[in-house]
Structure 1
């Protein structure tokens, strides 16, 4: 039984669905009813307002300083600040709706239309793998556990110690059950939940759009290289050969432009994300070392693992661009010996243009690759060692 070849909409559905978890419809899906669109807009507005309120309280507590009275809280606030910066930067990137929709439309138009073309492009091999989708669910699940962990600890304390401890996720809300009614605690937890939803979804969904676009560009480059390697030029059909190679030159130039568009949209968030992700991993690791492996510590350990995986996926897709875009090698290695002089001149154009590498770039400061991931992990480890030494 032949497998169904995935459509472009299947690729774009994953990041689009994740963004809808916070009510944000990036692509303005036309199939939504007015009522559903209004509900989603209202939900997104509530998430955004909750995020603003929580960040405001965080800044107030940091300026007040009286409630930040131990090393553990200092490290926790450092973690929260870096994660807020990271997620808000990615959220600002995702707000470039026109640019994202434009790039999405261009890649959709370039996507192979017939089942035969899709089979030749091997679209199913580039589709989101089950392990990747499982990682996305695991990331979201671990982030949820960070939020609901405190109330689970309070419930456990109620059954083991006969006392509900009214714990919640973030330290900038102070709740006293002896002086304040229960509805304030419920309101705090609702704010924290929506605040976390805004940050987590902004963080992971923006990267998913980046990976979706990068996978498409890699798929086209891969097919282009394969087509060029398999082509057999001959003096007897010079005109057809020149037409084929002209198409290759035009497509190569167009893919380079698409990659530049991708870097223009996501380059800024990539640069700041590399810095803040290293800081988040470092501070969370220190916090876990201080707190120990209680329920909260275990959820943070899982969060560290998923955050590392998220960073690796972005860097790995950047490496794929560097590995795949060897169009110059494909032009030289294919059977051009029997081709015409004009065909060989066209080949030179491709080879010359291929000397400038196509890469996923963080605003031009550094190419994103597996080496970048190793450098970030090295920086994280050195930062962790330095903070531990300062504390001890």
Structure 2
């Protein structure tokens, strides 16, 4: 469901005019819809029905406290990949008993903090990590519930930079090593093997790769149970995509859930899923203002006040994002390159994109940026991080303010020999 729509020729979010928010906050800024966040979460929850399920929001997709708190209030757990993300989840109200710790390079400090909080489980990704976690847990007199993240060597059919389930990827335990590693884990102090985990990638737009991977891992659970391991949890990761372009819609949560239940129900395991992009991606837009309309020899450019440091996905992944004016027009659309002010040719959001004619001062929305937008932003060219705004019906609040230049420059400290 789209909560960013046109009414009387002007784009609104829920029941709030975006132009009114822009007048108050200034551009550029990220804008999120509370109703969209709740709708996406409830789609998953309702699709799985009454099975034993834990939905852990993948915090890396959008780490804003207001977003995490929205999911916490809906009953979500969290999937985290750092101590910082865990601290964010805890502060937003998600209990440690609903937090799953993923990531390939967990440090002793991070393991210690997570164990002291009483984390739900660690998704262990390598043999060295297993032995390090055993030592840390044993020294603390605690037991770490673990799953092994299995690399099923399945092609997720997604962008190479967000594919994580092939044998050449850095993630997970190699398929051929799992049985031996489980046998080792059973003998280690401070370790309790409770299940298996997998995550084959992000922005997956068809069910076949999921089903292939899940089937392989379910078969492995049965083998490991025959080996004597009491496996009660199956963490299926995330990865379900969202529509970025046109009418190419990925599977719905209902279709995904039906497949999961068909493949896994015979095991009687608790199912854990870790959606991120699906929950937040289409819940956000980036609102920007046209600074100049520039005519080149063969192209027309919309130069806007947002830049690649604010939204890096088009530059990093050649990602497509819909771009629409805040105010509709009945004029014939024209071709533009939409670019930002950063001194890089890669500071381009769209090339030869058909958009309604726009002028200096007009507002536009870059769509589907709720995931991997603000979290990947930076201050290149000493540009201010842009605000994040959350709307709830006809109300809005700035949930991350725009810093001042003094805030940014003040992070630097001169050494003693330059301070005289």
Rg larger for = 1
TM-score, normalised via structure 2 length: 0.23
Structure richer in helix, relative to its length: 1
